[in-house]
Amino acid sequence: MTVYAAPGTAGSIVEYKSRYDNFIGGEYVPPVKGQYFENITPVTGRPFTEISRGTAEDVERAVDAAEGASAAWGRTPPADRALVLNRIADRIEANLEQLAVAESWENGKPVRETLAADLPLAVDHFRYFAAAIRSQEGHSSQLDGDTVAYHFHEPLGVVGQIIPWNFPILMAVWKLAPALAAGNAVVLKPAEQTPASIHLLVDLITDLLPPGVLNVVNGFGVEVGKPLAQNKRIRKVAFTGETTTGRLIMQYASENLIPVTLELGGKSPNIFFSDVAAADDAFYDKALEGFTLFALNSGEVCTCPSRALIQSDIYDDFLGAAIERTRRITTGNPLDTATQIGAQASNDQLEKILSYIDIGKQEGARVALGGERLVHDGDLAGGYYVAPTIFEGHNKLRIFQEEIFGPVVSVARFDGYDDAIKTANDTLYGLGAGVWSRNGNTAYRAGRDIQAGRVWVNNYHAYPAHAAFGGYKQSGFGRENHQMMLDHYQQTKNLLVSYSENALGLF
């Protein structure tokens, strides 16, 4: 067990600059309007560095730099681009511990997660897309004896990427790796809640990328995200966030006739069929852990299994054991490797979660565990902590229908297969789902009947590269985390070639 020293105190392995400017054209440049804002750690609620407050003028500069770099980067041989991605992966891996601590400090998530998941996955993601771009092939079709259609993958040019705050580095990497592999130049906007750790990463890899291929403009959504999404010179926007901003981004994209990919969250069902309790064995233990995964990353995951549906005949026993399992979760200092749940990412997130706990109680849901803010001692007293919370109720309640984005699960019972699927699909969203059963046929059928882009069967919250991730219904579109994402950052060039010596004979 290790407790990492807080950044800014003696012995910390993380050192921040006192302020971070915008990263444009391969160097840090101050924002045109000269404004900055404080970056707060949710661990203590106190600021730890300053971040540039960019504006439309900075976005224009970044797009200038990206335009200047995109043609050469797009012509760079795939093997060379892959090599750059592999070097970025190596650089992250060599600094993994430092970045993991920074990511925990930035977002409030426990360092055991950033050490074991966020950063190793980011490393692997660059390697995956390095491999994917090297092995990508175009297609050719022989249309007749003298005519051949060649299909080449070509980059889009300059793309805009708007990153969420729940996995500040990993979500940036999910978007960056395929875009860079495909030969695009990027203008990236980090979340205003969590901009600093991306800059630690940028600092590490500045020498690996040609200037202008990656540009980062910090600031608020309305001042940076909006002019980026509206910019007439970008060829695509990728966004992870919520539905109203998703719609707005599509509206802007429609004005410029450019494609978007959107990942907009969910209210993912986690279904436990009776046979999981057929024996009190390792699989039963695994299923109970699967229930408790709602608390992973403090519930701040788009695919948080925030609706647990348990078959009636095992409901009481299974839920009783699941409550005990959840009660044992260790909460506290995110920089302690023994901590399982850290802080929520921001004060407004904390307030929102508490407002949902309030409406859940008003609607008559029963609080089976938690249901309150946690206040820790010492430096953590000002941080944003919530007790893991289990509600019992029914699927029409608002806490069953809205993404709370906290360590809150809403539990309901179901009677039989059809009832399970009907309840699971009674939601606006379709991002993730979990199915737990010892019966392969049941698990397969349920997995196919649930309207969601990712269904975990007898596991949950695994995010390996090469398994496509994206939404059905109002959860958005596009498939990240898979080589098919290359298609979202490329356009197809068809070269239609005649090898005939003879005229058509028409004129």
Partner 1 sequence: MAGDADRPERVSLTEKAAQLLARLTETHGPLMFHQSGGCCDGSSPMCYPDGDFRLGNSDVHLGDLHVGGIERPVSVWMSESQFEYWRHTHLTIDVVPGRGSGFSVEAPEGVRFLIRSRLLTDEELARLGS
Segment interacting with partner 1 (CB under 8 A) among 99-107, 152-160, 217-225, 415-423: 217-225
Query: Phi/psi at 160 (nearest 5 deg)?
Result: -105, 140
Give the pairing of strands 429-430 and 185-189: unpaired
Q: List the alpha helices (DSSP H) in 328-439.
A: 347-362, 398-401, 416-425
CB of 266 to partner 1, least distance (A): 7
Indicate the residue among 115 and 301 with the shorter CB distance to partner 1: 301
CB of 281 to partner 1, least distance (A): 36
38 torsion bin: left (phi>0), alpha (psi -120 to 50), beta (else): beta
Torsion of CA 357, 358, 359, 361, to 10 degrees: 80
Query: Phi/psi at 43 (nearest 5 deg)?
Result: -65, -40
Binding mask 244-263 for partner 1 (x = CB under 8 A): xxxxx--x-----------x
Number of residues in contact with partner 1 under rule CB under 8 A:
54
CB of 380 to partner 1, least distance (A): 18
Segment interacting with partner 1 (CB under 8 A) among 56-64, 79-87, 144-152, 241-249: 241-249
The single residue among 317, 324, 348, 415 that binds partner 1, judged by CB under 8 A, is 348
How far is the C-alpha of 221 from the C-alpha of 453, rounded, in Å?
27
What residues from 165 to 204 belong to the interface with partner 1 (CB under 8 A)?
165-166, 191-193
CB of 166 to partner 1, least distance (A): 6
Binding mask 299-338 for partner 1 (x = CB under 8 A): -x-x------------------------------------
How far is the C-alpha of 151 from the C-alpha of 137, rounded, in Å?
9
The single residue among 135, 140, 147, 355 that binds partner 1, judged by CB under 8 A, is 355
- Which residues are part of the catalytic machinery? 263
CB of 146 to partner 1, least distance (A): 50
How far is the C-alpha of 391 from the C-alpha of 506, rounded, in Å?
75
What residues from 437 to 456 belong to the interface with partner 1 (CB under 8 A)?
none
Give DSSP secondary structure letters for 288-349: HHHHHGGGGGGG-STT---EEEEEHHHHHHHHHHHHHHHHT--BS-TTBTT-SB---S-HHH
Neighbours of 299 (CB within 10 A): 26
Cβ 457 vs Cβ 443: under 8 Å: yes
CB of 328 to partner 1, least distance (A): 28
Binding mask 463-482 for partner 1 (x = CB under 8 A): -----------xx-------
What residues from 393 to 422 belong to the interface with partner 1 (CB under 8 A)?
396, 398, 401-405
Pair of tokens at residue 62: 């970044």
CB of 346 to partner 1, least distance (A): 5
**Cα R_g (the chain), whole angstroms:** 24
Query: Phi/psi at 214 (nearest 5 deg)?
Result: -125, 125
Going from the C-alpha of 276 to that of each of 273, 296, 391, 458, 500, the distances in angstroms are 6, 22, 21, 10, 66
Cβ 482 vs Cβ 490: under 8 Å: no
Segment interacting with partner 1 (CB under 8 A) among 100-108, 223-231, 272-280, 414-422: 223-231
The single residue among 114, 240, 306, 481 that binds partner 1, judged by CB under 8 A, is 240
223 belongs to the binding site for partner 1 (CB under 8 A): yes
Element (H, E) at 37: strand 36-41
Q: State the Cα angle at 144 between 139 and 146, rounded to 5°.
A: 95
What residues from 36 to 75 belong to the interface with partner 1 (CB under 8 A)?
37, 40, 53
Residues found near partner 1 in the complex (CB under 8 A):
37, 40, 53, 164-166, 191-193, 220-223, 225-226, 240-248, 251, 263-266, 300, 302, 346-349, 351-352, 355-356, 358-359, 362-363, 396, 398, 401-405, 428-429, 474-475
